[in-house]
Structure 1
Amino acid sequence: MSEFDYVIVGGGVAGCVVANRLTEDPNVRVAMLEFGTSGNHKRQIVRMPLGMVSFMMPNLAFLGGTRMMYLYEAEPSRGLGNMKMVLPRGKALGGSSMVNGMIYIRGQKEDYDSWRDMGNPGWGYDDLLPYFRKSENFVLATTPQATRNFTLGGRPVRDQIDMAYHGIGGPVSVSPPRSPNHMCQTYFDACVEAGYPINADFNGNQQEGIGYHWLTQKGGERWGAESSYANPAKSRPNLAIFTEARALQILMDGKRAVGVSYERGGEVHQIRAAREVVLATGAFISPQLLMLSGIGRPEELKRHGIAVRHALPGVGSNLQDHIDTWLKQRSTTNHTYGISWGTMHSNAMHVLKWFSARRGMFTSNTGEAGGFVRSGLDTDRPDLQLFFCTTMASAQAADSFWGHGWAMHACLLRPKSIGHIGLKSADPHEAPLIAPNFFDDPYDMEVLVRGVHIMRKITDQPAFDRHRGEEVAPGRAIQTDEDIAAYIRRNCMTMYHPTSTCKMGNDPMAVVSPSSLLVHGLENLAVVDASVMPSVISGNTFAPTVAVAEKAADLIKTRAHMRSAGAA
């Protein structure tokens, strides 16, 4: 049996951040368990940003992207007509940052201030901004000459950025699109014609507006948590990373976490933690592991024959995720990405651009442009995130690349529908029960229907006149709100941002303490991942998860120093 100071369960985004920061102290011994494999950052399908579109396409499974993904199946949602939905998550060192769309969004200031106001002092926007800056290497600041021709609204983007919101020298490379498609400018023109402002920096003073997405890329390649946090720490002798290791249970001595039972190579092992066990397996698996270890709702545990070690009713509750729908528009020109006889030569040139200079189409995540808008006059801040995809195929609506066109997406930012995580059985090899309850609250559908009207409004602007062909989906025959809602129920997907199932707080349903991220009522057991967020933020969740983990690492270090001082 091995013993370390800290055992981190989960080598996803949060786990990689914590492992890196804790092992900065050479006297601290850290082990990290991850069920997926490592070294995926070296694979072309991962390094190449456009490769992410293939991860959800069954006919491209031979490229290997699906081997890096869990494809969980949700319970039927009444709001979807009892349809089940596939919920992908990353299965690799680096977690979902190895398969995501690389979009770097922090969310709105109000998101974090609401966390603070819900009883979580120290988690407001001003508290987290230093961690966003600490983790970031903002390419526009570090290599301004490389982006001198990168413009928005006729002005260089770098001249529109307030650097007070950005960091230099952090592990996460945050870059502008390397070779944005020319149709992005058409989209921006159409949005201005439709009355929406241009915004050069969604992570600056305000989020509202339309512009380019910042991407977690470096030199035109994906730059996930394996590259940014795990790799720099791998050579440290005080870090041991165990991949292809499935965590089975948290080992407890009374109310104290002392280690982890895990399976690797067909054998069951135990690993001891002298200081803390840090659970970082995400919003689906962290509550499952707690429940499998006898920590959670007593009725849920007893139903599966699990002895109740610690009653904590909030474990698995409060599941939140973003729901998204789309329009697909055929183009009369071939400026968007796609396969056609007329573009065979240019597509071949894009291959050469990728291999020779890491530029061109293969550096694209296909969603380089988008923005944040209010769905109506009755909302005081953006409640919809828009995406403009320069191909009709996308991760949410994956199908053929044949032909030319674009897809627009609208994502609900702050859903009122709340789900939960439970157990299907006491077998750790079985996936958890995931019940998102999408559209359980009618408000969510109302906002997305408004989103479809907004996307059509943008599409119908003069800027798109020379490109606009047939609306493939939903089709212009679908006009009434009722018909649009029916379309959305058949054509929607999660944005892969599950959060809040082990939320921080001090109310009866809180799971971890905001001052420590330790599980309420237990010793030496912390949860550090998106599950501790009290509510989902208004945007993509990679950047917030990094900030949470950076702050958590500081909390863990502070506890260690206090213990040492007390012992002295």
Structure 2
Amino acid sequence: MTERYDIVIVGGGSAGCALANRLSADPSTSVLVLEAGRPDARWDVFINMPAALTYPIGSRFYDWKYESEPEPFMGGRRIYHARGKILGGSSSINGMIFQRGNPMDYDRWAAAPGMETWSYAHCLPYFKRMETCTAGADEWRGGDGPLVLERGPATNPLFQAFFEAGRQAGYPITSDVNGYQQEGFAPFDRNVQRGRRLSASRAYLHPVLGRPNLTVRTRALAARTTFDGTRATGVDYIHRGRLRHVDAGEVILCGGAINTPQLLQLSGIGDADHLRSLGIPVVQHLAGVGQNLQDHLEVYIQYASEQPVTLQPQLAWWRRPWIGFQWLFFRRGPGATNHFEGGGFVRSNDEVDYPNLMFHFLPLAIRYDGSTPAGGHGYQVHVGPMYSDVRGSVTITSRDPRSHPALRFNYLSTGNDRREWIEAVHVARDILNQPAMAPFNGGELSPGPEVSTDEEILDWVARDAETALHPSCTAKMGTDDLAVVDPATMAVHGVEGLRVVDASVMPSITNGNIYAPVMMIAEKAADLILGVQPLAPAEVSYYRHHKDVDGSNVGEGAG
């Protein structure tokens, strides 16, 4: 007998876990979650110890290990893209940094036709519903949600010097980058609870796994959504080497900005000519599927430290057993933090309305793959433009769901993007060479003083930049010709019984890490799918910079 569920959620990642919780709350609704990756075992140190975040990235056991096509403006480099292949998705392997983005990101969304209910005022209640902000709830922050957010202690003297250097360079200090004022420098919120990673799976899914109407099936790779005409009827998926099928009253795609457009195309939804070229029967022509791809590119600007206050000694192999012992038995010590405990948001020029650069500060010189520059103590900032005008694509090249699609990001392809990259490096260097950093400043390691002109900076970025791992916007909400998803229902345009809820539905990328916006979208989408009354808009003020008539820069509250 063919299995049947009221709702089949394809993807047990960040959004999928939140939806599984909210949609299965009604015991009369049967819900199946299909996750292509493995379970997220509680004993797995690599995904539960915050400081172990470098280990899952690049491992076939945890990571889809995507690569871009050769990027034409980066010397033909293929840019590696890690995505979580495990329950919790990328929230199980990411850096655990919780950034909502700027309120004006959402007001920018709402300015497009049909998107009026995605303004900051409409989104804020859902941010608050999902949060327990341990630093304190207020009119901007939540206090009783499933996502427990710990504020980074940022007690290392390098953090305090960095914050002060930002102030000396002319940028503000703020109390909470997710609250009233994003612009400025401050400790960061993190998805860490009592020394352990709190992924979407741990926050939303595991607490409700006992519900009899909720089934989670791992190592189940979706092959396509099946249709009767233009109505979705179920999902074909590969499990234990066999092609299986499940009937569904409704299918919700939560595979993320790469897998969701891939599955839509495999299912016959996308550019009709391209689908026909691969022999895929066309269910619905939607030219925007896989288009509008956006991401954050970043560089590491690294300095040597004159004082032995960095995390460098903790990298020694002989220290690892003690670090593991402290974490395993006491949930404390160097293993209990992601080390990205602070940073900031600034404007690189006076033409932008809100911060276009984000800084993550790390009291260590190291890359995501764990490699370090030669030498001893060091520190670094991660920096890059936050809402670039670069656009790329996700395009399938095969009917085989196991074949990765072609990813083209087109980094550095516009004049404005290149301009902001030059500004980003100059701003970072200005901050890192302020008097507050002088006691620690042992000279720039990367890119180094030999990289000084604008042309040399762009050449270095093209050679050295890496993705910040924030792919998004490939099945965007809206009503224009490239829109894929109805913003009022999350339904895919032109078909029935199929919705999308994940990072792909963002119309434009937010100016920070995208995990928090994805979870907000899932919370809001749950109400839209259930047909319940949405939470009332929260008309609160927020900080907005503007240039006064006399040319001076001032800040103000805005509603």
1:51 corresponding residue in structure 2: 52
Is 1:547 matched up with 2:541? no
Q: Which moved more, 1:46-55 or 1:481-490?
A: 46-55
For 1:264, the equivalent position in structure 2 comes to: 239
Correspondence for 1:79 among 67, 73, 98:
73
**Corresponding residue to 2:131 among 136, 154, 163:** 136
Tell me the secondary structure at the aligned position of residue 164 of structure 1: coil
CA deviation map 1:25-45 (0-9, x unaligned): 111100000001113343112
Equivalences for residues 140-155 of structure 1 within 5 A:
140-141=135-136
Show the counterpart of 2:191. Answer: 216
- Kindly tell me: are residues 486 and 478 of structure 1, through their superposed partners in 2, closer, same or farther at Cα, counting changes over 3 Å? same
TM-aligned CA deviation for residue 491 of structure 1: 1.0
Matches within 5 A, 1:433-452: 433-452=406-425
The answer to whether structure 1 residue 459 and structure 2 residue 432 are counterparts is: yes
**One-letter amino acid of the counterpart of residue 75, structure 1:** E
Matches within 5 A, 1:39-438: 39-56=40-57, 66-119=60-113, 120-141=115-136, 163-177=138-152, 180-274=155-249, 276-339=250-313, 350-395=323-368, 398-399=371-372, 403-438=376-411
Contiguous gaps of at least 5 residues in structure 1: 59-64, 142-161, 562-568
User: Per-residue displacement from partner, 1:236-282 (whole Å, max 9, x unpaired)?
Assistant: 110000100000010100010010000100111100112x1001101
Q: Distance in 1 between matches of 2:42 and 2:128?
A: 24
Paired AA for residue 99 in structure 1? I
- Tell me, yes or no, if the aligned pair for 1:211 and 1:369 is still in contact at 8 Å: yes
Contact 1:55–1:395, Cα closer than 8 Å, also in 2: no
Deviation larger for 99-108 or 41-50? 41-50
User: Aligned partners of 1:340 and 1:282: how far apart in 2?
Assistant: 34
Alignment correspondent of 2:482: 509
Equivalent residues of 2:154, 2:160 under 8 A apart = no
Amino acid across the alignment from 2:290 = G
Q: Match for 1:232: what amino acid?
A: P
Q: Is the 1:321–1:496 Cα contact (8 Å) retained in structure 2? A: yes
Superposition TM-score, scaled by structure 2 size: 0.91
Task: Find the residue that maps to 1:327 and give its secondary structure.
Answer: strand
Distance across 2 between alignment mates of 1:402 and 1:356: 33
Q: Contact 1:391–1:401 at 8 Å: present in 2 too?
A: no
Give the Cα–Cα distance (whole angstroms) in 2 for the partners of residues 396 and 344 of structure 1: 16
In 2: Cα distance, 1:385 partner to 1:299 partner: 40
The alpha-carbon deviation at position 70 of structure 1 amounts to 1.1
Q: Which of 459, 481, 485 is the matching residue for 1:486? A: 459
State the alpha-carbon separation in 2 of the partners of residues 10 and 402 from structure 1: 43
2:19 maps to a residue whose letter is: V
Runs of 4+ that moved beyond 6 A: 343-349
Q: Are residues 486 and 179 of structure 1, via their aligned partners in 2, closer, same or farther at CA, if it must alter by over 3 Å?
A: closer
The residue type equivalent to 1:224 in the other structure is S
Tell me, yes or no, if the aligned pair for 1:184 and 1:369 is still in contact at 8 Å.
yes
The total of aligned residue pairs comes to 532
Query: Contact conserved, 2:10 with 2:254, CA < 8 A, in 1?
Result: yes
**TM-score computed with the length of structure 1 as normaliser:** 0.90
* Percent of aligned positions that are identical: 38
Q: Distance in 2 between matches of 1:169 and 1:47?
A: 23
Rate the CA distance shift 1:347–1:427 in 2: closer, same or farther, 3 A: closer
Amino acid across the alignment from 2:27: P
In the aligned structure 2, how far is the partner of 1:55 from the partner of 1:38? 14
Counterpart-to-counterpart distance in 2, 1:23 and 1:179 = 39
**Partner deviation per Cα, 1:379-421 (whole Å, 9 max, x = no partner):** 2211000111111113277446972101111121101110011
Q: Distance in 2 between matches of 1:11 and 1:344?
A: 35
Q: How many Å apart are 1:364 and its aligned residue?
A: 2.4
- CA gap of 1:544–1:72, structure 2 versus 1, over 3 A, is same
2 CA distance for matches of 1:364 and 1:104? 14
Distance of 1:221 and 1:289 partners within structure 2:
33
Aligned partners of 2:61, 2:157: CA distance in 1, in Å?
A: 33
Note the alpha carbon deviations across 1:303-326, whole angstroms, 9 max, x for none.
Answer: 211111211111111101111112
Q: Which amino acid aligns with 2:288?
A: G
In structure 2, the CA distance between the partners of 1:179 and 1:111, relative to structure 1 (3 Å rule), is: closer
Alpha-carbon contact 1:18-1:553 (below 8 Å) kept? yes
Greater CA drift, 401-410 or 204-213: 401-410
Judge conservation of contact 1:179–1:359 (CA < 8 Å) in 2. no
User: Quick one: distance in 1 between partners of 2:80 and 2:492?
Assistant: 30
- Contact 1:179–1:363 (Cα < 8 Å) also in 2: no
Q: What's the secondary structure of 1:69's corresponding residue? A: coil
Report if the CA contact (8 A) 1:423-1:433 is conserved.
yes
CA distance in 2, matches of 1:560, 1:211: 36
CA distance, structure 2, for counterparts of residue 180 and residue 258 of structure 1: 54
Give yes or no for contact 1:53–1:398 (8 Å, CA) kept in 2: no
Structure 2 residue matching 1:490: 3-state secondary structure:
helix
CA distance 1:211–1:401, change in 2 (3 Å): farther
Question: Residue 30 of structure 1 corresponds to which residue in structure 2?
Answer: 31
Equivalents in 2 of 1:73, 1:425: separation in Å? 16
Write the distance in 2 (CA, Å) between the matches of 1:559 and 1:313.
31
Structure 2 residues not aligned, in runs of 5+:
535-559
Q: As a proportion of its length, which structure holds more helix?
A: 1
Note the C-alpha offset of 1:360.
Answer: 2.5
**What's the CA shift for 1:166?**
1.1
1:357 Cα deviation after fit: 3.1
State the AA in 2 paired with 1:129.
Answer: L
Distance 1:340 1:264 in 2: 41
Conserved 8 A contact 1:249-1:260: yes
Distance 1:340 1:3, change over 3 A: closer
Deviations along 1:502-560, whole A, 9 cap, x unmatched? 00111111101111010111011000101011111111111100010111111111189
In structure 2, the residue matched to 1:61 is: none
Structure 1 residue 291: Cα displacement: 0.6
Question: For the residues of structure 2 that align with 1:560 and 1:243, how far apart are their CA atoms?
Answer: 33
Distance 2:150 2:302 in 1: 27
Asked if the contact 1:396–1:493 (Cα under 8 Å) also holds between the matched residues in 2, the reply is: no
In structure 1, the residue corresponding to 2:189 is in which secondary structure? coil
Quick one: distance in 2 between partners of 1:530 and 1:17? 13
2:454 corresponds to which letter in structure 1? D
Q: What is the distance in 1 between the residues matched to 2:314 and 2:490? A: 53
CA distance in 2, matches of 1:304, 1:401: 49
User: Which amino acid in the other structure matches residue 479 of structure 1?
Assistant: S
Summarize the Cα distance change of 1:346–1:73 in structure 2 as closer, same or farther, 3 Å threshold. Answer: closer
